[in-house]
Structure 1
Amino acid sequence: RYISAMRNAKWVWQRSDWPNFQYEEVVFTEICSEFTAVASRLAGRIEALSELPRQEITVDLMVSEAIKTMEIEGERLDRESVVNSIAALMGFLPGKGLAWDKKAEGVARLMTDVRQHWNQPLTHNLLFAWQQAVVPESYLYNINRGAYRDDEMQIVSGGVGHYKVHYEAPPPDRVEVEMDHFIDWYNATQGRLPGPVRAGVAHLWFEVIHPFDDGNGRVGRAIADQALSQDLG
């Protein structure tokens, strides 16, 4: 019966064992040790700097991450706009101001919030705020901002009439319950799982649910960033 249920499940969230993630701990032992060692060396080098260079390096690292997370979505941002926004939001480098580009400002707000409040528990409202930050208001598309989706969600490719469905997320009436389970697990496992493992499971679990109309990729990567930050303290 168990094997039959596995074979009949088209998507992972339809499996009878969803969402009981399993992994081989020994496979991650070396990876997690290396992550902690490299992160500690980097932190030590940054802490040894004086205040201004430390601020500049912090902004530069955050800007690189912000630009990369948007490039994955096919969006290219002006680096100077992101620098100005992050520096202003972090209270660094006087004279900098928020970018005119709402996408640059939005991803800057997301990166800054994750860094400044890395130890806060994950909540529905926090996720709503992150999604709203990275999905600017649009008069062309009807997108739920600051709320979970109320429609079906498919990942497709190809033209009209010839598209291929690569993935179908849980129906909208299951999203809030699925997110309740995810958030409860995420907050309960802080300090109980190695950071890279917790970040990986959290990212995959969130993307499987795909709870938002838009912004799932950016918010999912922010969750992974927060998980790693919590692991490192």
Structure 2
Amino acid sequence: MQFKQTLLAGALSLFISPLALSGASSTTSYQYDDQGNVTQIDGPRTDVQDITQFSYNDKGQLTEVVNALGHSIQLSNHNSFGNPQQITNANSTVTELSYDEIGRLIQATIKSTVGDITTRLEYDAVGQVTAVYLPNSSELHYEYDGAKRLTAIQNGLGERIEYQHDNAGNITKQVVKSSTGAVVNQFSQAYDEMSRLLKTVGANGQTSHFVYDKNSNTTGATNPRN
């Protein structure tokens, strides 16, 4: 079974670049197996081959991804949640993955002849990542509010980035602090009722403003240099 998705380039211009409506199109083709798994994606390029292929086991678990250059990633030893516990890349480098009792990733170890490279993750009761321990012995800790919005990131040295949000979840203020609590840098942002960015204010009061039309296209902007 094969499905084709065709996108007009002009329809993407607002998100990618200010391209004029030219009528140009790109086509991406998808193929599926009888279980509905994607087995092949043929990208929009016509000058080179850009096909990615996917293989699955009899449980529908992804076991291999092969890109257009023939480079293969093998996924194996799936657990009861269907998560792979081993990934082997095209260079034969093996990464071993460990999960907790509810299927969350808690450790990734890259196997190496010069020593394993391990990253560990911790979660809170609602599944938010609260800590990441990196291979170089550094660490990051994450804090959230009652609405599950990220409010702070702190490294092992005590240096922090703190965030404030509006009711829509947009970040309205970011403050960077040293390990002593001194403010190193900060900026604030304001949004309208449609969550469109209206104003930014830097640490030294430098201010930028943005104006939109009824379709939310930016029609004007002023910055400290204007």
Length-normalised TM-score, structure 1:
0.24
Q: Which has the higher helix share?
A: 1
Q: Which has the higher strand share?
A: 2
Bigger relative contact order, structure 1 or 2 (CA pairs below 8 A, ≥6 apart): 1
Larger radius of gyration between Structure 1 and Structure 2:
2
